[in-house]
Structure 1
Amino acid sequence: MEKKVQIGKTELYVHPIGLGTNAVGGHNIFPNLDEEAGRELVRSGLENGINFIDTAYMYGPKRSEEIIGEVIKERANRSEIVIATKAAHQFIGNEIKVNNSPAFLKQSVEEALQRLQTDYIDLFYIHFPDQDTPKDEAVGALKQLKDEGKIRSIGVSNFSMDQLLEANKDGYVDVIQNEYNLLNREAEKELFPYVVENKISFIPYFPLASGLLTGKYDKHTNLAEKRGKFFERELFESTLEKVEKIRKLASTKDAEVAHLVLAWYLTREAIDVIIPGAKRAEQVLQNLKTLEVRLNEDEIREIDRIFQ
């Protein structure tokens, strides 16, 4: 059984590999999702030692939380499972507005508790910053919910450095979840030093850059069928060359490219846990192989240099 790690200064102890669940009930993200496959994916993670599940109101919307709530209900030991969810999106007619007001965040937590069929959420994030709400006020509302026992720790997501500074004015922020991967290392400049100093845990999303860092693509990939910034031709082609260099190192360790990349993230001082997504149960088990990869200092520096 893998040793659990503490998330920042929280009282949450988790397996270093969590599970990102936007493919569990995230019908608005992935067309033609099979909900039973989503349930199996979560069950498979829980049965194999993963105890940290990351979801959000916007996955579905709502449906991911509902399915996760159903699966967790099947198990007797809620206290062994660490659930993270997020909110900030408000539907007004057909419009989506981002709302960080204390009243909206409190309402969002109450509704998430019902969907997840639980009486507390281990980690609750403000999913996106809005334009109007002072961030320390938004976090202050979550601190009240924490004091009431409805949430156990406070996160922010997609916050800039300035927004994080405002949000953490009173020292209440425990976790920040932003994009970070070997192709986008912006967070290393200002965010990483700040979070390390303040014992805030940084959880990266898009750790595998929409699959580009898994090694599954090659120069024959039809980019016309792919969407998103990672598949713009120039970036795509330069990344393939870098991935090939990593593949050589991976093969000496009998590992896959993705395992090496994920293992490298866990060598960053700011990062305690990673939450690669999965669409199928076997991918969950694949992700767990990351922990079999041991990188020495030279190898860590080599990967750093390739993706400078």
Structure 2
Amino acid sequence: MIFKEEKMMVQEIKIGKSTVQTTKLGLGTNKVGGHNLFQNLNDQDGYDVVRKALDSGIKLLDTAYIYGEGRSEEIIGEVIQNYDRSKIVIATKAAQDPQNNNQINNEPAFLKQAVKDALKRLQTAYIDIFYIHFPDNKTPKNEAVAALNELKQAGLIRAVGVSNFTPEQIKEANIDGLVDIVEDHYNLVHRQIEKTEWPYLKQNKIAFVPYFPLASGLLTGRYTLNDYEKFADDYSKVEFETIINALAITQKIADRHSATVTQTILAWYITNPNIAVVIPGARNQQQAAGNVEALNVTLSEAEFQQIDKAFADFKNK
């Protein structure tokens, strides 16, 4: 199904000094070519997922070197040859050094080479957002970001990002005001960065993108209290019961919109003004198409607050 752009809520998002046009829903592509991360992946499914997302009006594709050690980028690079590149926002990441058993590396020379390598795999002249995927334990973060800023000034990347950085590391990276965007682990059952990161990001006009928005499937609504053992390493029984009860509340809201719990949870992120773009993944076309439907779920302020309150206990987790 092809959605009209007005229904897709295409908007301009300010990322540092750059402005990109995108929907608030993108596509996370760790299941596109990520054979080292997931079992039983099929490359053809990866091609189909990316095409389905683009054909449905999705603008932003989020990938990384470590997703298949370049394979995800290669698949995306092949697919976008048949699309208008100017209407696609590509975000990718690097930190794992293939010359050193994928050890984390933030050295300026490595990052510059990583960008050049990604450009080749993506078959593009520029990358819209380039993130340092993980911090290493030795490189000054502002020096790492300064190296990427040089490439930004040269037109090879359009926005500089950091991912998985602590609040202190984000501040160090942004000493010179060069960080445009932060990507980090955030969802309705993992909310502590609302207090530890968001105030600084807002003050410094740094955009925010969450990953794991569906908490590895927990927030899709397909689990019951009987499934606790699957999540016992991450949540107490009391916490898990709170999640199941909150999802029951979400289900009632979803029913009013003729939507799924997954789509309604994604709609909550889309509605949240602190989030630039949400990037759920998809293993196949059906999942990609289902995620896109979240853009047709318009939550009222009361519904947004009801979901927020249902998961409020996780603001410290």
Q: How has the CA–CA distance of structure 1 residues 148 and 43 changed in structure 2, closer, same or farther, with 3 Å as cutoff?
A: same
1:169 and 1:6 mapped to 2: Cα distance? 26
Following superposition of structure 1 onto structure 2, how do residues 1-308 of structure 1 map, counting pairs within 5 Å? 1=5, 2-9=8-15, 10-75=18-83, 77-92=84-99, 95-221=101-227, 223=229, 226=230, 230=234, 235-308=239-312
The residue type equivalent to 1:41 in the other structure is V
The residue type equivalent to 2:58 in the other structure is I
2:47 and 2:234 mapped to 1: Cα distance? 29
- 1:74 deviation in Å? 2.7
The residue type equivalent to 1:121 in the other structure is I
Question: 1:202 is paired with a residue of what secondary structure?
Answer: strand
Question: 1:59 is paired with a residue of what secondary structure?
Answer: coil
Question: 2:97 is paired with a residue of what secondary structure?
Answer: strand
Question: 2:253 is paired with a residue of what secondary structure?
Answer: helix
* TM-score for the superposition, normalised by structure 2: 0.91
Q: Is the 8 A contact 2:95 2:104 kept in 1?
A: yes
1:6 and 1:190 mapped to 2: Cα distance? 26
Q: Deviations over 1:52-90 (max 9, x none)?
A: 100000000111011111111233x11111110000011
- Structure 1: runs of 5+ lacking an equivalent: none
Question: 1:121 is paired with a residue of what secondary structure?
Answer: coil
2:76 and 2:134 mapped to 1: Cα distance? 22
The residue type equivalent to 1:34 in the other structure is N
Q: Is the 8 A contact 1:14 1:51 kept in 2?
A: yes
1:182 and 1:14 mapped to 2: Cα distance? 23
Question: 2:170 is paired with a residue of what secondary structure?
Answer: helix
- Structure 2: runs of 5+ lacking an equivalent: 313-317
1:39 and 1:235 mapped to 2: Cα distance? 38
- 1:236 deviation in Å? 3.8
Q: Deviations over 1:7-36 (max 9, x none)?
A: 333221111110000000000111111100
Count of aligned positions: 304
Q: Is the 8 A contact 1:259 1:289 kept in 2?
A: yes
1:228 and 1:90 mapped to 2: Cα distance? 34
- 1:180 deviation in Å? 0.6
Q: How has the CA–CA distance of structure 1 residues 227 and 26 changed in structure 2, closer, same or farther, with 3 Å as cutoff?
A: farther
2:183 and 2:93 mapped to 1: Cα distance? 10
Q: Is the 8 A contact 1:262 1:274 kept in 2?
A: yes
The residue type equivalent to 2:68 in the other structure is G
Instruction: Tell me the residue number matched to 2:315.
Output: none
- 1:235 deviation in Å? 4.3
Question: 1:11 is paired with a residue of what secondary structure?
Answer: strand
- 1:220 deviation in Å? 4.2
- 1:279 deviation in Å? 0.6
* TM-score for the superposition, normalised by structure 1: 0.93
Question: 1:7 is paired with a residue of what secondary structure?
Answer: strand
Q: Is the 8 A contact 1:195 1:270 kept in 2?
A: no
